[in-house]
Amino acid sequence: MPSPLLVVDGVSKNFGDVAALSNVTIQLNKGEIVGLVGGNGAGKTTLLRLLCGVYRPSYGTVRFVDDGENKPVDEVRERLGVVPESTGLYSRLTAWENIRYHTRIHGRNDEKSWDRTHRFAKALDIEDELHRPTRGFSRGMRQKIALIRAIAHGPDLLLLDEPTAGLDVTSARKVRDLVKQLGDDGGTVIYSTHMLSEAQRICDRIIILHNGTVRADGSPSELLEDTSSEDLEDAYISLTRDVARSEPIEKASTISNILLGIFSRKNRTHNGGEEE
């Protein structure tokens, strides 16, 4: 029987008169890789911000399940790892210094953090870059460092917002392989993407968001069966026939600054370098 880790119950999020999310109810179970799929304006980023406690719901609740006890998600942020679409690395620090700063905020031992960092960097084939300042890193390299930063402290839940955006084919595959390995090791991952093919490759479940509502939640095979479709693209189109919102509810330009600060508000004034 699935063991719940995070429960979203009847959640709506409004911005003025606009409903970014409407009555969303989902359960995220331990050890699952869950794809969050939808186009621009679907509500994916808003939902991710609710899941990590950056936003509070207008209605409903988001609860983290800890040994059978429900806790508000903003009380367990150290149990989360977040990779925003914009990485927000400190450009004057080396890759390892960026990661170490994050793990120290979470109270992790440097030696253990380095061991995990080096293991993940080796899997992504970037171990030689760990002691280089991140200024001048390519978008793909920054994305890889942000992923390692999010998992180096050993979170129970990893939230990924378009983790392969800007990566070449080989690098994207390495990231997907690492995410699959985390799932095989018992980790729980929320994988937000607009690419159905990518979600199908690595996700146990796929949640389709459209115009702020959940249109489907199930395994790839279940989505195909429920929609009598031969492929996921056809299934997606059949579930989202109404006109999509033309623009996102919010701009994503500030998400990295928000997410980097939520874990330790007293450290927000740290000036280790410029953010990108």
Checking if the pLDDT of 7 tops 70, the result is: yes
Cα–Cα distance, 98 to 108 (Å, whole number): 14
Q: Residues 197-217: pLDDT tens digits?
A: 889 889 999 999 999 999 999
Q: Output the CA torsion 132→81→20→44 (10° steps).
A: 70
pLDDT at site 15: 92
Q: What is the per-residue pLDDT across 216-270, written as a single tens digit (0 to 9) for each?
A: 999 999 999 999 998 899 999 999 988 776 655 554 434 444 444 544 444 444 4
List the domains of the chain with CATH numbers: 4-264 (3.40.50.300)
Confidence band, pLDDT 50/70/90 cuts, at residue 102:
very high
Better-predicted residue by pLDDT, 166 or 17: 17
What's the pLDDT tens digit per position in 103-124?
A: 999 989 999 999 999 999 999 9
Rounded percentage of the chain residues whose pLDDT exceeds 70 = 88
pLDDT of residue 189: 95
Q: State the pLDDT at residue 120.
A: 94
* Total-model pTM: 0.84
Torsion of CA 34, 218, 193, 42, to 10 degrees: -120
List the single range of 45-54, 81-90, 166-175, 264-273 with lowest mean pLDDT. 264-273
Contact 164, 175 (CB under 8 A): yes
* Average pLDDT for the chain: 86
